[in-house]
Structure 1
């Protein structure tokens, strides 16, 4: 059960992040293929009039009962509620007035009220400088995987909160039973954008003689889809996916979050709670070359939470990677070859691809990340340890 001393929080931050295949575009939520043309600018913001409400734990009433009481008390019709979630945290997302928000904040059964966050990701693009293949006749070990080390991840589980994962990719072992979509009205968790499949390959591409090898080769990937085919996502989906991983995961499992939102106390606290369960949560630091102290969940400092910056093959800190006191490790994230949709392979750049190297290490080690020296040119003056199996 959740503690009853959660402090209430309302965060009115717009989600200032975009998706880029360029590798260096500022204010990125997710970053994919290096050296590709910069996509059109994208916008992201808090959703006007829409809020996420998280209930306190410790009540003798069930979550559905508490929700019904609040709906009745405030006169909120079910038609105004877009999402309901249960698990480590219980609550709902809906259209609310400012007066209703204030009433909810004063209610003894409410832990948080935060604005919904929405992001529209830039259109993914490709260029001749980036190879995309539908098949390979031989197997390669990407430089990043070779740098951090790899091993047999059979039987290890990594929950990937992302754009989904291609279930039929010949180089991936995807759990079709536990994978799930958190997009309202969409049941498919298949990846229509590419990013999640790329992350999954770094973590656990099979050591099968073709394609590439992942850090925890043949690890079981559970795809939790929160971004749609156009690259659009919400804070509610991310929160609900992590809630699901907490509820269905077990100590020793790994959660990879190669994503970023504006400061969210409720998301940060769920990350901490998931980590306290004994699961390992890996977070991309972000790609805006700023201190990640104002980003969630990259600002989280807690046991079993690993925030990862991006370095190149020379061990140099990336000129696009975020930094800060919460960063625990640096890992390869520049021109990393990995799996992609269409049963293909593609080079990826960004902390989105650095983080899954650490996720793979944790899956293999059960919670230990060794060091192979320090990254150079870290702008915060505290060089990050380079991750090693």
Structure 2
């Protein structure tokens, strides 16, 4: 069965391995400690396959060895350069190894599939997204993170997302930064888990879209690592989407995605906060 764009699996639950976060680490990365709210990092049992449809991922030190396959939708090769920088930042939130800049990503034990659908200006066409979705679905990934938005309905994009959804792929998308206006596509599709952003005090991001929101996650003043390997503090639902992708990847890795409600903390109005924030308590 499915709930709000999230396919629900039924497995037994193995014991989690854990690692404590220090007070200094929580000062360095409040968002990491918001996700692991009891200050205990949950270690995944297995690796999860995550496709990141974005501007590309540069293999900075904390991301070395994470990308297992690549596809550039602009020239149909596996050669990718992240000129815009957004994709690398998203990847750092999801899966960066331990580092001195933002402690670590939510789930460093991931296999990343780097799909370039945005150019050096952060722009892409519908055909890029379509090619990227087809490639990711053919790779049978577990999760597709889509930290980008468009205004108009696309039947072809929706058809592909439905196909992936029916094959147990979870699509996670940023709701948009439209300052209270309606959630954008593809997050607006019912098959996509739509993510909005909150600050460290659980206030909704003033940039946030509203309407079709499934969950919220840290997305205001959150630390990332940029394509130059430097700390870059960012804001927006793109980054909140990455945090949620990290959490869901751990739940999948530990065969516990069917019990997702245990990891959901309700925060407020569902048009603004959705079901709440996904976190490990």
**TM norm. shorter chain > 0.5:** yes
Contact 2:93/2:104 (CA < 8 Å) preserved in 1?
Answer: yes
- C-alpha distance in 2, partners of 1:156/1:205? 14
Q: How far apart are residue 340 of structure 1 and its match?
A: 0.8
1:362 aligned to 240, 248, 253, which one?
Answer: 248
Within a 5 Å distance, the mapping from 1:173-322 to structure 2 comes to: 173-184=64-75, 188-207=79-98, 211-250=102-141, 253-262=142-151, 263-292=153-182, 295-302=184-191, 305-322=192-209
Q: Find the residue that maps to 2:137 and give its secondary structure.
A: helix
For residue 52 of structure 2, the aligned residue among 160, 176, 187 is 160
1:179 counterpart SS class: strand
Q: C-alpha deviations, 1:306-342, integer Å up to 9, x for none?
A: 1101111111111111121x32101110010011111
> Cα–Cα, structure 1 residues 151 and 205, in superposed 2: closer, same or farther, change >3 Å?
farther
1:19-168 equivalences under 5 Å are: 142-149=29-36, 150-153=41-44, 155-167=47-59
Size of the aligned set, in residue pairs, is 244
Question: How far is 1:359 from its partner?
Answer: 0.4
TM-score (norm 1): 0.58
Query: Cα RMSD (Å) of the superposition?
Result: 2.5
Contact 1:204 1:218 in 2 (8 A): yes
Q: CA deviation at 1:388?
A: 1.3
Greater RCO, CA 8 A, separation 6+: 2
Query: What TM-score, normalized by structure 2, do the two folds share?
Result: 0.78
More helix by share: 2
Task: Return closer, same or farther for 1:182/1:383 CA change in 2, 3 Å cut-off.
Answer: closer
Q: CA deviation at 1:208?
A: 5.4
Counterpart pick for 2:210 among 298, 323, 332: 323
Instruction: Please state how far the C-alpha of 1:175 moved relative to its aligned partner.
Output: 4.8
Q: Residues 155 and 355 from structure 1, CA distance in 2 versus in 1: closer, same or farther, beyond 3 angstroms? A: same
5+ residue gaps in structure 1? 1-137
Gaps of 5+ in 2: 1-23
| Aligned 8 A contact 2:224 2:232 in 1 | yes
1:133-152 Cα distance to aligned partner (Å, 9 max, x none)? xxxxx977621121112433
Task: Check whether the contact 1:173–1:220 (CA below 8 A) recurs between aligned residues.
Answer: no
Q: Are the counterparts in 2 of residues 268 and 296 from structure 1 also a CA contact under 8 Å? A: no
